[in-house]
């Protein structure tokens, strides 16, 4: 005799509910009762969950039907999704593989000076450049140069794509309040969803051997800050300057290119810095789905309890993070300086 029997008979629904059906899957409580050999004795008034209501009325779902339903729904939609998404995302695989090949095939004596030169060009700061050179050589000395380059190639591709898509989306959001209202919850979702949860539907959709799988996971996670800060940056542009642009007859394109984007640039750069940091965070988790790089060694450290391997790879990731952060921050302050020169 289940607790909610009386409720259903009082509502006159006994007939609709039908008789007990033993073929129904076991509820958690039943399992517990079987294991313990006695009937489950919950609190005096059991919480009106699906499982508890099901005991009184067969028509009501069990909780596992919900998870089953989601899974079946997703599997049903999968063929359609796959035929649409597969061709669209295929170039991402090519780009990722191409970049990976390029970073690995370039000999170190070209690659390292090139990276140092890029850091100098971006930051124009001697300490930062020296730090970059020392860090890369440090990684090379402990034979982590190759994996570090793999990680760097993934970050390079994912950040570039995030910026290419994120900045226009941010611009569109800044132009339309309605678009902003509808996109912001999505961005909140992408930012709060635990990183592992991204991977679950992606694994179902794409093959684990394809590089676009981790590419998509990283981009979805890392694109959020650049969108947000582009939107914010353009909205924060001084209204007086915008009015002046209008008063001198600029059209929308001139206003965007000559006024809004340059004045929003410090914010956009801050967004790009965050995007780089977040793609680095995700690239480690993405090693679970066959992303190459330093993350693989971390994963090996965890799986085989190889303490040293894990920690060296971890320190390598920290070094990369600091390099990328310092270079992009130095570039940011350089951009900022041209704004307020005193």
Task: Enumerate binding residues for another protein (CB under 8 A).
Answer: 238, 240-241, 243-244, 246-251, 254, 258-259, 262-263, 265, 338-342
Q: Is 39 helix (H, G, I), strand (E, B) or coil?
A: coil
Least Cβ distance, residue 237 to another protein (angstroms): 10
Per-position DSSP letters for 231-258, written without gaps between them: HHHHHTS-HHHHHHHHHTT--HHHIIII
Q: Which is nearer to another protein, 19 or 251 (CB)?
A: 251
**CB 209, CB 242: distance < 8 Å:** no
Q: Which is nearer to another protein, 126 or 239 (CB)?
A: 239
Q: Please give the DSSP secondary-structure letter assigned to residue 288.
A: G
Q: Which is nearer to another protein, 45 or 340 (CB)?
A: 340
Least Cβ distance, residue 106 to another protein (angstroms): 36
Q: Which is nearer to another protein, 78 or 175 (CB)?
A: 175
Tokens in use for 155? 């970050």
Find, among 95, 186, 170, 144, the residue nearest to 311 by Cα.
Answer: 144
Least Cβ distance, residue 248 to another protein (angstroms): 5
Tokens in use for 197? 């949860």
Residue 42's CB: how many other CB atoms inside 10 A? 12
What distance in Å separates the CA atoms of residue 330 and residue 23, rounded to the nearest whole number?
A: 66
Q: Which is nearer to another protein, 260 or 287 (CB)?
A: 260
What distance in Å separates the CA atoms of residue 266 and residue 269, rounded to the nearest whole number?
A: 5
Least Cβ distance, residue 239 to another protein (angstroms): 9
Least Cβ distance, residue 69 to another protein (angstroms): 45
């Amino acid at each position: 005799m289940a607790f909610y029997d009386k409720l259903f008979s009082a509502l006159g629904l006994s007939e609709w509910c039908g008789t007990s059906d033993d073929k129904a899957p076991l509820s958690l409580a039943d399992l517990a009762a079987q294991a313990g050999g006695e009937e489950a004795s919950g609190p005096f008034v059991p919480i009106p969950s699906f499982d508890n209501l099901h005991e009184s009325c067969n028509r009501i779902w069990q909780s596992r039907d919900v998870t089953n339903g989601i899974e079946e729904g997703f599997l049903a939609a999968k063929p359609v999704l796959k035929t649409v998404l597969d061709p669209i995302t295929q170039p991402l695989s090519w780009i990722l593989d191409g970049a990976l090949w390029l970073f690995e095939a370039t000999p170190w004596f070209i690659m390292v000076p090139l990276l140092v030169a890029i850091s100098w060009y971006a930051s124009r700061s001697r300490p930062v450049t020296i730090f970059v050179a020392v860090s890369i050589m440090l990684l090379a000395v402990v034979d982590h140069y190759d994996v570090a380059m793999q990680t760097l190639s993934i970050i390079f591709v994912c950040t570039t794509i995030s910026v290419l898509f994120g900045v226009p989306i941010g611009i569109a959001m800044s132009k339309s309040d309605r678009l902003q209202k509808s996109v912001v919850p999505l961005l909140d979702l992408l930012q709060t969803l635990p990183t592992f949860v991204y991977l679950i539907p992606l694994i179902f959709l794409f093959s684990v051997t394809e590089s676009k799988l981790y590419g998509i996971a990283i981009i979805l996670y890392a694109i959020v800050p650049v969108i947000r800060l582009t939107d914010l940056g353009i909205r924060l542009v001084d209204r007086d300057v915008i009015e002046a642009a209008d008063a001198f007859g600029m059209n929308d394109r001139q206003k965007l290119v000559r006024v809004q984007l340059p004045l929003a640039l410090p914010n956009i750069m801050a967004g790009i810095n965050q995007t780089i940091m977040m793609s680095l965070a995700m690239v480690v988790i993405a090693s679970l789905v066959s992303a190459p790089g330093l993350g693989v060694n971390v994963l090996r450290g965890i799986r085989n309890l190889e303490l040293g391997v894990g920690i060296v790879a971890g320190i390598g990731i920290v070094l990369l993070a600091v390099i990328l952060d310092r270079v992009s921050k130095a570039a940011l302050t350089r951009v900022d300086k041209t704004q307020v020169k005193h």
